[in-house]
Amino acid sequence: MATPTALLDELGKRYTLSEIHIQRDDLLFLKVTKPQAVRFLKDLRDDAGYTHLTFMTNIDYIEDGRFTLTYMLHNYDTHHEIGVHVDLDRDNAEMDSIHNLWAQGRTYQCELREMYGIRFPGSPGLDDDFCLEGWDQIPPMRKEFDIVAFSEERFGNRPGRGSTDPREHMGTVMYPEHRDGTEH
Amino acid sequence: MFEPAAPVDLSSGKYLKLWQGPQHPGITGNMSLELTTCGDEVVACKTHVGYLHRGFEKLMERRTFIQNFTIVCRIAVPEPTFNEYLYAAVVEELSGIKAPERAEWIRTFNLELMRLGSYLMWLGGVGAAFGQSTIYQWTVTHRDYILDLFEEMTGARVYHMYIVPGGVRGRLPEGFEDRARKVLDGVERLLMDVEKILFNNVVFKTRTKGLGVITKDMVDPYGITGPNQRAAGFARDVRRDSPYLMYDEVEWDVITGTASDTYERAWVRLQEMHQGIRIMRQVLDRMPTGGPFQTPLPNVLHWEVPKGETYIKAECTRGEYGYYLVTDGSQYVRRVHVRGPSYTHAIALMEKMAVGTNIADIAGLMVSLHTYPPEIER
């Protein structure tokens, strides 16, 4: 089994790799271009022993107008992990599906479609609800989704409970006769 | 490889659609299975999650690093400490903080005690799913003794918030080690009783042997880890393969099986409980009784973790549990992703394995995979 460094040298001849970062002896991150990504993942799985898709997730860099997908792969023989990054255009986020490489991939892709609005054409059940039923807002994990504004609009204070200040509530509702602050 | 379900014509009158959950004792937590049955055989299954979605990962992006440690324990209710440890570990790695050795021993004990408590709850669940509710009463009683220990150690029974970045919140109370040993002795006796009564029971054997077989070629495509994987013959365990805390300082065995059915998975977990007790006894014997248990942190109100990213994993009762943290140098996380084993076991795997199963065995099959929906929805 090739060492991670030898593996990178070998893969670097066939793929455009960038931002290679060795975080620990057993963990490194790198970036691959979007058109090469799925073929790169397949080669890691079939030729380099990274058979376990540990997880797949997304990072929102709203200030740069990009999403960065992360595929974390694990090699059970060397106990080494590679985090593969792929940049997507945030306004037109679409990526090739990996459900034919890992059966669990469709679950991750369904979640990423719901939470970030990323499309994975061909992924089975992509438009099924994952966690959110009847969601009519922007995908909630995108940075511009404001959970405070959403909560205040959707679940605002109940009528008759205008104040959340306990002192105000006690003074006006529970003990109005003592509102002047007299001690008893 | 994903295999689409065969189309079913519901109007033929041959099939019936049934919902199991989200409030069903045979489902480990709040999720539901949309089952299509033909007679008493399941021909299609679709899982539905989201009943416990509280958006933990999103919430964590809006809180400071120290505020987040009160949130993470809620992601897996029966096993909060794995979340505490992993969150602390990723923050420590990116901050360049090293917890003292005493804290590492205490953390090891804490995680193993949590594993035992969670397994006891699961063991009761699997007994109940196959008609032996007495087992549940026994195991939950002993889990309560474990919660007593947690209360002593941390001040809380369920959400401990004890493992914090930099170490643990406090030293162990006076006489704790002796009381812990007594609880472990009691659990060991209980496990021997359970082995006789549950694992030698003809009904349990008949119903679980051959049920829900995970073949070796399913392991990688479906991301199967933990006891579900070890019961299929793979001697893989994060504690052994990528040692963390003090696991490379203690002796224990990785338990594997061969049949990979519901019975074998239960058997592997039973043996792992014995191994957990073995680990904890060694930790109690070797744990330092003096020295610091907490490394000083920066001013946590203005704590800026350097830009970076990392992934750290641990072996929880259900398999590989991990935290992926991305920071940008600010006081807030850029992204945190929680990798829980239930995510793969309870959705893609369950949908595949339910097909062809008798409707009466669905609850037992679900329990045998040992999943917690909150860690799916995060």
Tens digits of residue pLDDT in B236-270: 999 999 999 999 999 999 999 998 999 999 999 99
With contacts defined as CB-CB under 8 Å, which chain B residues touch A57? 324, 335, 337
Q: Which residue of B has its CA nearest to A45?
A: B220
Across the interface, whether the CB atoms of A124 and B337 are under 8 A apart is answered no
pLDDT (average), residues B153-164: 91
Cβ of A151 under 8 Å from any chain B Cβ? no
Complex confidence, ipTM: 0.89
Is it the case that residue B355 has pLDDT exceeding 80? yes
pLDDT, one tens digit per residue, over A8-48 is: 888 888 899 999 999 999 999 999 999 999 999 999 999 99
Q: Which of the residues B218, B311, B330, B347 would you substitute to probe the A interface, choosing the one with the greatest number of A C-beta atoms within 10 Å?
A: B311
HEC sequence for B260-306:
CCHHHHHHHHHHHHHHHHHHHHHHHHHCCCCCCCECCCCCHHHCCCC
Give how far B303 is from chain A: nearest CA, Å: 21
**The pLDDT of residue A148:** 85
Share of chain A above pLDDT 90, in %: 59
Q: Summarize the confidence of residues B190-209 as an average pLDDT.
A: 92
- pLDDT number for residue A154: 83
* Angle between the N-to-C axes of helices B262-286 and B101-129, in degrees from 0 to 180, rounded to the nearest 10: 150
Q: How far is the alpha carbon of B56 from chain A, nearest alpha carbon, in Å?
A: 11
User: Is B43 inside any structural domain?
Assistant: no
* Domain at A4-129, CATH homologous superfamily: NADH:ubiquinone oxidoreductase Nqo5 subunit (3.30.460.80)
Please state the rounded mean pLDDT for residues B28-46: 86
**Do the Cβ atoms of A72 and B221 come within 8 Å?**
no
Share of chain B above pLDDT 90, in %: 60
Per CB-CB distance under 8 Å, the chain B contacts of A83 are 309, 311, 324
Portion of chain B with pLDDT greater than 70, in percent: 97
Q: Which residues of A touch B339 (CB under 8 A)?
A: 54-55, 72
- Scanning the structure block, which residue is given the tokens 């610091």? B292
Tell me the three state secondary structure of residue B95. Answer: helix
pLDDT, greater one: B348 or B154? B154
Least confident of A57-66, A109-118, B355-364: B355-364
pLDDT band at B312 (very low <50, low <70, confident <90, very high): very high
Rounded CA separation B214/B231 (Å): 9
**How far apart are the C-alpha atoms of B59 and B204, rounded to whole Å?**
43
The CATH number linked to B61 is 1.10.645.10
Q: For the ranges A14-28, A71-85, A100-114, A158-172, which has the lowest average pLDDT?
A: A158-172
Chain centroid to CA A148:
20
Say if the Cβ atoms of A70 and B322 lie within 8 Å.
Answer: no
From residue B63, alpha-carbon distances to A126, B300, B333 in Å are: 31, 12, 8
Tokens of B197: 């009564």
pLDDT at A118 over 60: yes
Confidence of residue B375 (pLDDT cuts 50, 70, 90): confident
Asked if residue B39 belongs to a domain, the reply is no
Judge whether A138 is closer than 8 Å to chain B, CB to CB.
no
**Can you tell me the distance from the alpha carbon of B34 to that of B295, in angstroms, rounded to the nearest whole number?**
49
Confirm whether B230 is domain-assigned: yes
* Domain region containing B89: 56-340
Q: Given an 8 Å threshold on Cβ–Cβ distance, is A27 in contact with B334?
A: no
* A59, pLDDT greater than 60: yes
B22 cis-preceded (ω within 30 degrees of 0): yes
Contact B50 A76 (CB under 8 A): no
Cβ–Cβ gap A57/B324 under 8 Å: yes
Least confident of A81-85, B52-56, B273-277, B305-309: B52-56
Choose, out of A66, A104, A123, the residue to mutate when testing the contact with B (most B CBs < 10 Å).
A104
* Contact between B339 and A55 using a beta-carbon 8 Å cutoff: yes
Domains contained in chain B, number: 1
Q: What is the pLDDT, as a whole number, of residue A181?
A: 53
Chain A neighbors of B327, CB-CB under 8 A: none
User: Which of B4, B335, B339 comes nearest A54 by C-beta?
Assistant: B339
d(CA A69, CA A87): 6
Q: Once rounded to an integer, what is the mean pLDDT over residues A70-80?
A: 95
Q: Note whether residue B51 is domain-resident.
A: no
Residue B48: its chain A contacts at CB < 8 A? 129
Let me know: does A98 contact A109? Beta carbons within 8 Å. Answer: yes
This prediction has a pTM of 0.90
- pLDDT grade for A161, boundaries at 50, 70 and 90: low
Residues in B closer than 8 angstroms to A70, CB to CB, are 324, 337
* Predicted pLDDT of residue A179: 63
Residue A5, pLDDT > 50, answer: yes
Give the DSSP H/E element, type plus range, for residue B167. Answer: strand B167-168
Residue B284: inside a domain: yes
Name the residue ranges covered by the structural domains of chain A: 4-129, 146-184
CA angle B345, B351, B352 (to 5 degrees): 90
Q: Is the dihedral of CA B134, B194, B267, A54 positive or negative?
A: positive
The pLDDT assigned to A162 comes to 63
Lowest mean pLDDT among A40-44, A77-81, B22-26, B277-281: B22-26
Q: What is the pLDDT of residue A1?
A: 60
pLDDT reported for residue A184: 45
Which tops the pLDDT comparison, B373 or B333? B333
Candidates A21, A45, A54: best to mutate against B (most CBs of B within 10 A) is: A54
Rounded to a whole number, what is the distance in Å from the CA of A184 to chain B's nearest CA? 36
The pLDDT value recorded for residue B24 is: 65
Nearest by CB to B236, which of A57, A58, A76?
A76
Closest Cα to residue A115, out of A72, A69, A82?
A: A69
